[in-house]
Structure 1
Amino acid sequence: MTAPPPPDALTLVLDVGKTHARLLLIDAAGQVQAQAQRDSASLPGALDYPALDVAGLRRWWLQTVATWPAAQRQRVSRLVATTHGAAFCGLAADAHWDDAEGGLALPVMDYEWDGPARDRDPADPPLDPFALTGSPELPLGLNAGRQLRWLQRHRPQAWDQAAQWLPYPQYWAWWWSGVAASERSSLGCHTHLWSPVQDGPSPWAQRLGLSPRLAPLRGAAEALGPLRPDLARRAGLPEDALVLCGLHDSNACLARYRDLGDAVSLVSSGTWTVVMSPGGEPGHLQARRDQLVNVAVDGRPVPTARFMGGREFAEVCAGADPALAGTGGSLARLEAALAQEWWALPAFAQAGGPFATCQPPVHGRCLQGWEPARPVGPVDWAAQPPERRVAVASLYLGQMTAWLLQSLGGQGPVVVEGPMTRNAQAMAVLATLLGHRTVHASADPLEGTARGAWRLAQPASAPATGRRRPRPEASAAHLSPVAPLTGFAAERLRSLHILWLSRVASLL
């Protein structure tokens, strides 16, 4: 077991989302001492598929760390990465952190490319049952195992150059430390590569020869080793700073709240709205609705549902400023939209979510009037006042989130993390539709993914599993209850939602 960090130590957190990447220095009290952000990007890859801009992130990391005061850099005692899922990295046999490719044998595929989903070899072994892996068939490249199989079949020379495969968070841990590892929450993120039931590689991955290439399994909070000496010197960081294994971003957010017990459901918002109910029953999940099993850092299966909430919200806003959902008078504008019978039906993004596999495809519609409902075309919708567009987008976001939470069967409190907490309209819709379930918004200025990753680096985390000693007061310190709508507005919303649910059921 490693020694605890000194009281003035800092933790360096790299938080890579699909839209943005953030780099933070956080002290032992949880206060952010320095931070930076850049867009996450996808670039044309050398092997004819879109690839993540990993080289750009590496350069940005080095440049950003170099701008921090030397005295601050010398206090860094832990480094930990959390990233989005469905991204795997192949390390070359002679990998070196400072070569042109950053040790990568081939570019890291962007999961929004549809090549893996279009490629189905009838000779391939059948996928394992959903009950074994908790991984549904998803569009695009959202099943990381499908990405690896595509590379294995269509880029065999590049595939042979990859000596080991590791999830994206663990790539950064390798780049920092030189130790290659895999970790449960990333392996178990709808990859087809992992079986939560067996706590090991899936039979499908074994039959195709994928599992032997996976880096050794380590715990999310486990220290892989110290920072590479040459990288430490170049970045001006202590050579004895320890690199933790790291974890998948939604599971980092969940790890922050596990102290509150399994009755609490979590909504992690961003590009994706991910709903997790640790106390739910995995056997009730429906794979065709993009319901799946996430794997917590301690290996426990977590019933999960999701949709691209952030992207769909932006689509319905149609260029209107999303901040209108959180400014003064926003609830009055939501109530006006309800009174005038404005609403929206799914789906406004095709990359995942309950409607992604529907045939024919389900396309989102904005409507005015309930019975009958008049569809409003894209041109006419864009001409509506921005306040109306944002209110309807918020209404849709709240309804979708409430529907997914109810589908997982949880009955306890709900905690919402991320950008959705700043949307007063969507939060009021959610609190109203969930009825007896209390809804809490995280008021922590640091979002749950980075906070969860930081907590793994604190002394209360066990190195092997990431389990923490119960400290519910620490988890709940930044939670604020959300008030539901009342009176006529609440009645209108509940009536609309009954209609909305019937229309949604007809789309599935």
Structure 2
Amino acid sequence: MLTSPASDLTLVLDIGKTNAKLLMVDTQGVVFEQHSRPNKSVISELGYPALDLDGLRQWVGLTLRGSANAKQCGRVIASTHGAAFVGLGDDGVAWAPLDYEFDVRGMVRDAPDAQISAAFDEAYQLIRDPFSETLAPDLPAGLNAARQLYWMQHRHPQAWANTRTLLPYPQYWAWWLSGVRSSERSSLGCHTQLWCPQVREFSKLAKAQGWDTLFAPFRDAWAVLGPLRPDLAQDWGLPQACQVHVGVHDSNACLARYIEPEFPGQVEQTKALTVVSSGTWTILMAPNAPVQDLQAQSDMLGNVDVLGRTTPTARFMGGREFDHLLGGAGPDDGSMADLRQLIDTHTRALPSFASDGGPFRDHRGQVLRGDPSATRILIRSLSAGERSTLAALYCAQVTCWLVKRLWQGAAASQSALLVEGPLAQNTLYMSILSALLPDHTCYASTETLEGTARGAWQLCHWQVTSAPKFLNLASACAVDGLREYHERWLIEIDHLTP
């Protein structure tokens, strides 16, 4: 562990769906200290899976009390996953915030009052705004935050009656740290059905339900809310003057690093820029892609960047699917020889291996071998190298398919694709993706600090004019038959698309 001689470390609280991280980063972008813990839901007092606020708060306090660098932290910012909101009452949290993987529709169907349970989703469908306005598709479980709020309001009206303020998840942490309530657009525009990105205002649903009046005032993600609460500063050993920033939706933290002119890019700015943020979700954000071509049935949506602008987005649960296809193999066990073997035997993965999102979420994934007579095989029948290679190959193919869907044949000259997160570290994935997208220049982030945390850190240093450069140009693999293999894969998945 390094010890900082400076007095201006930035404390980044990066809460992903699978893992939570706490990092201390200096003014030059060097990580001085970092910690992580698994992030899992807990069962709330009302009986549903909820975000583990208590566990995370205790972990943050315990970690900082044991840190030699805590006293050097002059700033703090939170970056969190989307589809998460916290209701505050007069004395703190009014009700435990729902885990977005909790199927509110399924739970209501199992409720004692069958009439209410049967009518719940139908009622919600009747009142939600159309995709053309919110650019938020109808998603499973609680991935549309408006459905979470509607469920809580009608399923637990007594708890809901205690709600005085609604906060996006990053701003909950900012409130806990500073005592100041705020809202921020990148979380409100994350497939919530609460926001209309193109007109930059709350949806008709949010207004009709009165939710819009509950949200705290809007502040920019990089804005300073004020100093850390004195009791926390004293308990943790942080400076009393430590400044708390508003915070940001994690994938938008990745994107913020490359938005001109506010953030200096590490590659020449291009019209066709696509940023791929990987983790539990693989999220593709294309700031200048055509909004009118977004397809709700393919889990495409209009996100909102930190400047409040509509950002065409596509996604799939790449991290979950990659792990499933690994079947216990290591992510780097694959090789070009294994890729050659998969192509020669026409062994391929057809989506999907996760049911909580993505364009193929309604289809059960399978691994096939042979052509034209295909045989379904077990993942475990493949060697560790083949499984690892198949995982990289499959994720590269789905990424490529989504890139093409986002741009819909738009001019691809000067196209840049930047990959952040674990997939950027996978050489096979990057080389296959580059080969499948010859009209794009593909870059991989090479730093160990993930783009979510890096972007959050950079938001705290808005005036920085020279960001650290962590991008490497990816080289396309030269394996005969890859293009033809992919073309046949495209034909096979064509009947899966709505």
Q: TM-score, normalised by structure 2?
A: 0.91
User: In 1, are the aligned partners of 2:339 and 2:389 still within 8 Å (CA)?
Assistant: yes
**2:394 alignment partner in structure 1:** 396
User: In 1, are the aligned partners of 2:189 and 2:195 still within 8 Å (CA)?
Assistant: yes
**1:479 alignment partner in structure 2:** 471
The percentage of aligned residue pairs carrying the same residue is 45
> How many angstroms does 1:109 deviate by?
0.6
Aligned counterparts, 1:248-327, within 5 A = 248-259=249-260, 260=265, 261=269, 262-325=271-334
**Unaligned ranges ≥5, structure 2:** 109-119
The alignment partner of 2:336 has SS state of helix
Aligned pair partner of 1:498 in 487, 491, 495: 487
The code of the aligned residue for 1:22 comes to K
**2:83 alignment partner in structure 1:** 86
**Unaligned ranges ≥5, structure 1:** 1-5, 96-103, 462-470
The alignment partner of 1:122 has SS state of helix
**1:74 alignment partner in structure 2:** 71
Aligned counterparts, 1:94-109, within 5 A = 94-95=91-92, 104-109=93-98
The code of the aligned residue for 1:493 comes to L
Q: TM-score, normalised by structure 1?
A: 0.89
Cα root mean square deviation, aligned: 1.6
User: In 1, are the aligned partners of 2:7 and 2:74 still within 8 Å (CA)?
Assistant: no
The Cα offsets for residues 267-326 of structure 1, whole Å up to 9 and x where unpaired, read as 10011000011110111100111000110000111000000001001111122222314x
The alignment partner of 2:20 has SS state of strand
User: In 1, are the aligned partners of 2:103 and 2:141 still within 8 Å (CA)?
Assistant: yes
User: In 2, are the aligned partners of 1:110 and 1:141 still within 8 Å (CA)?
Assistant: yes
User: In 2, are the aligned partners of 1:113 and 1:141 still within 8 Å (CA)?
Assistant: yes
2-side partners of 1:59 and 1:480: how far apart?
Answer: 38
**1:464 alignment partner in structure 2:** none
1-side partners of 2:139 and 2:443: how far apart?
Answer: 31
1-side partners of 2:194 and 2:73: how far apart?
Answer: 34
Aligned pair partner of 1:432 in 412, 428, 435: 435
> How many angstroms does 1:124 deviate by?
6.9
The code of the aligned residue for 2:385 comes to E
The Cα offsets for residues 46-91 of structure 1, whole Å up to 9 and x where unpaired, read as 112101111000000000011111xx32221111000000110011
Q: Report whether the alignment pairs 1:110 with 2:99.
A: yes
The code of the aligned residue for 2:325 comes to V
The Cα offsets for residues 12-39 of structure 1, whole Å up to 9 and x where unpaired, read as 0000000100000000000001110000
User: In 2, are the aligned partners of 1:77 and 1:238 still within 8 Å (CA)?
Assistant: yes
2-side partners of 1:11 and 1:370: how far apart?
Answer: 55
The alignment partner of 1:324 has SS state of coil
User: In 1, are the aligned partners of 2:255 and 2:455 still within 8 Å (CA)?
Assistant: yes
The alignment partner of 1:252 has SS state of helix
Aligned counterparts, 1:270-419, within 5 A = 270-325=279-334, 330-356=335-361, 361-376=362-377, 380-409=378-407, 411=412, 412-419=415-422
> How many angstroms does 1:424 deviate by?
1.5
> How many angstroms does 1:7 deviate by?
6.7
The code of the aligned residue for 2:424 comes to T
User: In 2, are the aligned partners of 1:250 and 1:268 still within 8 Å (CA)?
Assistant: yes
2-side partners of 1:300 and 1:438: how far apart?
Answer: 25
User: In 1, are the aligned partners of 2:124 and 2:147 still within 8 Å (CA)?
Assistant: no
The Cα offsets for residues 440-473 of structure 1, whole Å up to 9 and x where unpaired, read as 1011221100000000111517xxxxxxxxx5x6
User: In 2, are the aligned partners of 1:290 and 1:353 still within 8 Å (CA)?
Assistant: yes
User: In 2, are the aligned partners of 1:165 and 1:214 still within 8 Å (CA)?
Assistant: yes
